[in-house]
Amino acid sequence: MPEPLLDLLWRDRAAAPVSRRRGPKARHSTTDVVTLAIDLAVEGGIGAVTIRALAQKLELTPMSVYTHVNSRDDLLVLMADQAHGSMTPTPFGRSTWRTRVRRVADDNLALLREHPWLLDLDDPRTALGPGTIAKYDRELHAFDGTSLDDVSRDAALTFVLDFTRATAARIVVRPETGEFSELWEQSVAGLAAYLGDDLPLAQRVGRAAGEAMGGPYDAERAWEFGLARVLAGLADLAGLRDAPPAAE
């Protein structure tokens, strides 16, 4: 019988229970199962992560996999926490709060590029894991030196991470820019003929933006524009405008 989710998340921080120390050593550890599940998700998306697929890869029966995890939902939580714990954050050094927040955003965008399956996972139980808590603690320090109270600090970080997740969803799944650029060029004349003199503002702005971006949307440009707006919005909070650099 597997341990409760909380104990599985913190399995490396506590001694193994007596029941785990008896009998022959298992062929695979829970970490082996979680690591393989992450590999499956990176290769085929979150839908590729099934107990049956894991069992086949590990040469185990599905019931043997369940001795490591209670359910597929619990497994996904374990995967997310391990991914969070494996992040290599950019050091803050003595940078300003703006630079620190930008580094948090950039690091999370890099994480979602590497593990796009995280975009399909939204389970609040992930917050119980050591990897996620350590990530949370580290990122909260982006607002050191400001006058934000604890609740506002949490809200500010959530604001940054929500923006990052929403934009990453467009960046990760966007079509190849080169392929759409060709289609865009082929379609401009036809669109103009269909529209004629209708919707002049959309035509003028769309033409200018399309020429600049090679299509109707540029996720990377949207990222830079949006992150600048996020930083500007945070600057309106008391104490952020002139916050000193963080200590080494």
Q: Render pLDDT for 174-233 as a digit per residue (tens, 0 to 9).
A: 545 556 667 767 777 787 887 888 888 887 877 777 666 666 567 788 899 999 999 999
Longest dimension (CA), the chain: 80
Task: Tally the domains of the chain.
Answer: 3
Q: What is the mean pLDDT of residues 90-103?
A: 94
Q: What is the mean pLDDT of residues 130-148?
A: 95
Domain residues for 93? 89-174+219-235
Q: At which residue do the structure tokens 């950019």 appear?
A: 90
Q: What is the pLDDT of residues 112-137, one digit of tens each?
A: 999 999 999 999 999 999 999 999 99
Quick check: 241 pLDDT over 70? no
Q: Same domain for 226 and 130?
A: yes
Q: Same domain for 208 and 224?
A: no
pLDDT over 70 percentage in the chain: 82
End position of a domain, from candidates 63, 84, 105: 84
Q: Same domain for 27 and 68?
A: yes
Residue 79, in any domain of the structure: yes
Write the single-letter amino acid at 34: V
As given in the structure block, the two tokens for residue 87 are: 């992040």
* Nearest in space to 234 (alpha carbons), one of 104, 117, 113: 104
End position of a domain, from candidates 24, 54, 84: 84
The answer, as to whether pTM is greater than 0.95, is no
Q: Same domain for 183 and 129?
A: no
